[in-house]
Amino acid sequence: MNVTLLAIAGGIIVLGLASYAGYLLLQLKKQKELQLRHQQLAIEKRNANIFENVNTLCLAGIQGQCDLSEISIRVYCIMDYVQGDDRVDFDKEFPATAELYHVVKDMARGEDRQALSKKERMQENLTRHKAESRLQDAIVEELKVLQEKVQPLNNQINIQML
């Protein structure tokens, strides 16, 4: 009888611990799902902010308010920070903008540009202007396409703690 009583008590303890372990595993699964959901919302919010900035840059480029070389640098670089399914391969989808970016990305800017000789600055200007004039129409069309592409994705997402 003592052995039976001890076996029943042991079984109850094992059953209780197994139930508690199952409860903890369920809580861990819920926590991981919640973390994944928060991460997705954070990515969507970040992407929405990037798309808002890209939309503004595209508008400035389409309206001619900024040099196309400056627009190509800014748009190419900022779109590199997009995460998830909304990521864009600029070299494939927007070849003219990518080509202009690759032409001007290594050119001196700011104080480095001032340190160049006048001849070197004029050479860089000539190279940049040739590329801009050759690619201008294609880049403006690509900016319109990009603007339409990011417009529906630009939804501000309010993140609330659950």
DSSP E strand boundaries for the chain: none
Task: Write the pLDDT tens digit of every residue in 5-29.
Answer: 888 999 999 999 999 999 999 999 9
pLDDT above 70: residue 161: no
Distance between CA atoms of residues 149 and 143, nearest Å: 10
pLDDT of residue 15: 94
Task: Write the pLDDT tens digit of every residue in 117-154.
Answer: 888 888 888 888 888 889 888 999 999 999 888 876 65
Task: Write the pLDDT tens digit of every residue in 28-41.
Answer: 999 999 999 999 88
